């Protein structure tokens, strides 16, 4: 069988990582089976359509490295791939389905429909138009009366299918309504469009969220009425925000592009979300797209919802940063360093070396290096360190030792400075640890810094190092 899967997002807002994960799994399954991955834009819900959302879908897939083989701009003969460009097709097939006995015209007015509610107060349909005579239908149509086309659900059947993840799913026809397939404005409902499109696009495996698990028997009845072969189905458990709530674009949850602008790497996000709902046989945690494709399998798909954990994603992102070459890291980090030093004349490459193993996401950078351009009065109690036996007097002496050691010293490298400080501390009868500790505080005015005294001195450069030592000595007085 040729595998053809599709990702069918609706342009109704940004893309949260749950939507993206559905697309990712459809992509992985297609690629794993040497199949074709298709992008289809499901934009028939004109009321919920959001300006710019279609472009966002393209951008997101491109950034994420999920490349579709067919889609709106890559027509392989199954197009158009945008539902609003397929309007004529739905009408044609809805009429065909009427002829085949799988659907019927319904001329009920809005007012009439509003009076129809079940015992729970939900709107329902009483099949009023299901058995209209040919003449009645013709009369309405000739009159130009507005109509919808409804599914004619066969009576007394059980519609079953075998979901590849969840096994058998069955629904009795008495529990399926004669729902609307084609609306009075000629637009199809999702219920109809998904069937027509998946069939005409030759989709072999429909991969989507579990919210469609129990309506799929209804869709299958449409396939049957057309005499079409049903696709295979794989329904995916949702990603939750917490134990109660699903991720939702309405609430601004977990937006892919927000993570990118926060300085997450696309490959780390993809890796992380791949594991939210699927687990490789060998339990590996760090997998590239190629490795994901290679190891993706249905057995690893989860039967329970997963909870999105940003702390875990941060950690994984940090692993990706650490694994980069210094040059690769520099290329990614440079704009964030630039932001952090705010135009000051520091060696950005040195700063990058300092940061590579000390951050999880790139947006940690500006705060981590804020001390570089923001050095002002600070709390001198930071110099007090009982275990190291450092007090104000010792600190002042240590600053003098460091200043004397460095003022005429020119080998401004980590090794050079370290040796020089050590030697000078020793000959002045002080422990080098005391000098280094004091120096780190004196150079930054911060309780925590991305690196020790020597690394700070290298990054600051000689002039700024000496200036800060002098400033701190004054401050202690």
Catalytic residue ranges:
249
Residue nearest to ligand GLU (CB): 208
| Residue among 82 and 476 whose Cβ is closer to ligand GLU | 82
d(CA 206, CA 18): 16
Indicate which single residue of 4, 5, 9, 25 sits in contact with ligand GLU (rule: CB under 6 A).
9
Select the residue interacting with ligand GLU from 4, 5, 8, 375 (CB under 6 A). Answer: 8
Burial of 192 (0-12, 13-18, 19+ CB in 10 A): buried
Closest by CA to 306, choosing from 277, 279, 285, is 277
Q: Are 216 and 14 in contact (CB under 8 A)?
A: no
Site for ligand GLU in 358-417 (CB under 6 A): none
Residue 4 or 208: which CB sits closer to ligand GLU? 208
Token representation of residue 359: 């951050």
In terms of CB distance, is 9 or 451 closer to ligand GLU?
A: 9
Q: Whole-angstrom Cα distance, residue 5 to residue 23? A: 9
C-beta of 58: minimal distance to ligand GLU in Å? 16
CB of 42 to ligand GLU, least distance (A): 4
Q: How many CB atoms lie within 10 A of CB 193?
A: 22
Instruction: Tell me if 10 contacts ligand GLU by CB under 6 A.
Output: yes
Residue closer to ligand GLU (CB basis): 26 or 460:
26
CB 297 within 8 A of CB 281: yes
Figure out which of the listed residues 21, 208, 235, 418 binds ligand GLU, where binding follows CB under 6 A.
208
Establish if 42 lies at the interface with ligand GLU (CB under 6 A): yes
Please say which residue, 150 or 249, places its beta carbon nearer to ligand GLU.
Answer: 249
What b-and-e string marks burial along 336-347, b requiring 16 or more CB atoms within 10 Å of the CB? bbbebbeeeebe
Nearer to ligand GLU, 22 or 295 (CB): 22
Cis peptide before 80 (omega within 30 of 0): yes
The stretch among 7-15, 100-108, 124-132, 457-465 that binds ligand GLU (CB under 6 A) is 7-15
Residue with tokens 């490349």: 67
Mark the segment that binds ligand GLU (CB under 6 A) among 6-14, 60-68, 95-103, 386-394: 6-14
What whole-number distance in Å separates Cα of residue 321 and Cα of residue 352? 11
Report the C-alpha gap between 321 and 471 in whole angstroms: 35
- Binding pattern for the stretch 158-197 against ligand GLU, x by CB under 6 A and - elsewhere: ------------------------------------x---
Q: Does 205 bind ligand GLU (CB under 6 A)?
A: no
Contact 96, 64 (CB under 8 A): no
Looking up tokens 């990702």 gives 7
Footprint of ligand GLU on this chain (CB under 6 A)?
Answer: 8-10, 42, 194, 208
């Amino acid at each position: 069988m040729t595998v053809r899967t599709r990702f069918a997002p609706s342009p109704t807002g940004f893309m949260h990582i749950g939507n993206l994960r559905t697309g990712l799994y459809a992509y992985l399954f297609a690629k794993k089976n040497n199949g074709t991955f298709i992008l289809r834009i499901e934009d028939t819900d004109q009321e919920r359509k959001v300006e710019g959302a279609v472009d966002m879908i393209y951008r997101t897939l491109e950034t994420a490295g999920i490349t579709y083989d067919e889609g709106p701009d890559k027509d392989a003969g199954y197009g158009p791939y945008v539902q609003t460009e397929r309007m004529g097709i739905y009408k044609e097939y809805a009429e065909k389905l009427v002829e085949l006995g799988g659907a019927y015209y319904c001329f009920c007015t809005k007012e009439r429909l509003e009076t129809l509610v079940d015992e729970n107060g939900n709107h329902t349909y009483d099949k009023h138009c299901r058995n209209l005579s040919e003449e009645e239908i013709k009369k309405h149509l000739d009159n130009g009366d507005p109509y919808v086309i409804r599914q004619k659900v066969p009576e007394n059947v059980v519609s079953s299918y075998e979901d590849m993840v969840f096994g058998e799913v069955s629904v009795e026809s008495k529990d399926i309504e004669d729902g609307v397939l084609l609306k009075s404005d000629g637009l199809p409902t999702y219920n109809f469009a998904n069937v027509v499109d998946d069939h005409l696009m030759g989709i072999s495996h429909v991969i989507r969220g579990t919210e469609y698990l129990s309506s799929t028997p209804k869709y299958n009845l449409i396939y049957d009425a057309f005499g079409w072969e049903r696709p295979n189905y794989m329904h995916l458990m949702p990603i939750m925000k917490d134990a109660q709530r699903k991720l939702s674009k309405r609430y601004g949850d977990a937006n892919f592009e927000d993570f990118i602008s926060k300085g997450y790497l696309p490959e780390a996000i993809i890796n992380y979300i791949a594991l939210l709902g699927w687990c490789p046989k060998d339990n590996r945690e760090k997998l590239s797209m190629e490795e994901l494709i290679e190891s993706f399998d249905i057995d690893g798909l989860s039967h329970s919802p997963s909870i999105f954990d940003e702390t875990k994603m941060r950690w994984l992102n940090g692993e990706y940063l650490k694994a980069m070459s210094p040059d690769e890291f520099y290329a990614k980090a440079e704009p964030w360093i630039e932001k952090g030093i705010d135009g000051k004349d520091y060696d950005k490459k040195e700063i990058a070396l300092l940061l590579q193993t000390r951050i999880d996401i790139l947006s940690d950078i500006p705060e981590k290096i804020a001390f570089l351009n923001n050095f002002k009065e600070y709390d001198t109690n930071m110099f007090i360190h009982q275990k190291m036996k450092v007090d104000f007097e010792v600190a002042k002496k240590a600053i003098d030792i460091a200043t004397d050691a460095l003022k005429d010293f020119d080998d401004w490298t980590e090794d050079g400075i370290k040796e020089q400080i050590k030697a000078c501390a020793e000959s002045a009868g002080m422990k080098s640890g005391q000098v280094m500790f004091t120096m780190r505080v004196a150079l930054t005015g911060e309780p925590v810094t991305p690196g020790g005294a020597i690394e700070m001195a290298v990054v600051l450069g000689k002039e700024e190092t000496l200036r800060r030592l002098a400033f701190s000595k004054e401050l202690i007085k």
